[in-house]
Amino acid sequence: MAALRDGDFAALQILLKAPSKDAVRQLCQECFSSPPAALGPLAQRACPGLAVSAQEAEQLVSALHSLTRHVVYRGLTRAEDILCLFPENFHQNLKNLLTKIILENISAWRNEAQASQISLPRLVDMDWRVDIKTSSDSIARMAVPTCLLQLKIQEDAALCGDNPVVSALTVELSKETLDTMLEGLGRIRDQLSAVANK
C-alpha cells in the first residue's frame, strides 16, 4: 500500500464541499469497500452531491480509497498516527473529521479486509442427518446407522465478485469414518490449544 501523494491530499479537500458530515462518512465507507475497478462508477454517483467536475470526483474517490486502505494496511489505531499522515497545511477541521470517521470504522474495515483476502474456498454452511438403513435390493433386513453430511462451500470471493458460487458437497459417513474424522478434528483442537497457550 503506497503512502499518499500530495495530489491526493489536495483532492481530499474537495470534501469541504460535501453537504454534511454524514455525506463524508458515507463516502469514506463506500470508497474503502469499493475495489479499484469500481471507483469510476462510484465517482460518477458522488459527482452531483458534491457539485464538482467528473475529474475532480474521480481524484477525490481515488484519494479517499487510498487513504482508508492505507490506514487498514498499516494497522493504525491511534488518532495521533492517523493525524500525522496529513500535511501541515491541510484543513484542520476536515483532518479531524476524517480521523474521527476512520477511527469509528477501522475495526469493521479490518474485518472486511480479512474476510475478502485471497483464500481457498470457504465453508459457509453445514447440515447433517443420521439415517438407519433398513433394507436394500441385496440385503432384506438390517439396521445400519449412517450419517449424511452436506457441506456448502463458497468459492473464493475475490474471484466471483458479487455472485459467489456456492457448491454443495454431500458425503456419507459410517461410524468408522466418522471416528476417523473426529480423531483428525481432535488433533486440530489440540494444536489450537497449544498455539493459544504460547
Partner 1 sequence: AADKIRLIPQDFFAELCEQIIQHLNHKIPGINTAELCQRIQTSGVDINTGDLAKIANTLSFLFSTAARNNLSTEELVTTLGSGIGTLPKHAVQVIRHVWNEQGKAIAVSEDAGNMATVGQFVDMKWKLGVAMSSDTCRSLKYPYVTVTLTVADPSGQITDKSFEMTIPQFKNFFRQFKEMASVLETV
Q: Residue 77 or residue 96: which is nearer to partner 1 going by CB?
A: 77
Residues near partner 1 (CB under 8 A), total: 56
**What is the C-alpha to C-alpha distance for residues 39 and 45, in angstroms, rounded to an integer?**
10
Binding to partner 1 by CB under 8 A, coded x per residue (else -) over 135-174, reads -x-xx--x-xxxxxx-x-x---------------xxxxxx
Span of 22-30, 90-98, 99-107, 126-134 interacting with partner 1 by CB under 8 A: 126-134
Among 132, 162, 193, 198, binds partner 1 (CB under 8 A): 132
**What is the C-alpha to C-alpha distance for residues 43 and 54, in angstroms, rounded to an integer?**
7
Binding status of residue 77 toward partner 1 by CB under 8 A: no
Cell 489505531, residue?
A: 77
Q: Residue 38 or residue 181: which is nearer to partner 1 going by CB?
A: 181
Q: Taking the complex as a whole, how short is the minimal distance between the CB of residue 155 and partner 1, in angstroms?
A: 10
**What is the C-alpha to C-alpha distance for residues 63 and 6, in angstroms, rounded to an integer?**
10
Q: Taking the complex as a whole, how short is the minimal distance between the CB of residue 58 and partner 1, in angstroms?
A: 22
Question: How many alpha carbons fall within 13 Å on the CB side of residue 150?
Answer: 7
Q: Taking the complex as a whole, how short is the minimal distance between the CB of residue 41 and partner 1, in angstroms?
A: 21
3-state DSSP helix/strand/coil % of the chain, to nearest 5: 60, 15, 25
CB 68 within 8 A of CB 102: yes
- Taking CA 124 as the corner, what is the angle to CA 120 and CA 130, rounded to the nearest 5 degrees? 120
Hey, what's the cell of 156?
473464493
Residues that bind partner 1 (CB under 8 A): 1, 69, 72-75, 110, 113-114, 116-123, 126, 128, 130, 132-133, 136, 138-139, 142, 144-149, 151, 153, 169-175, 177-182, 184-189, 191-192, 195
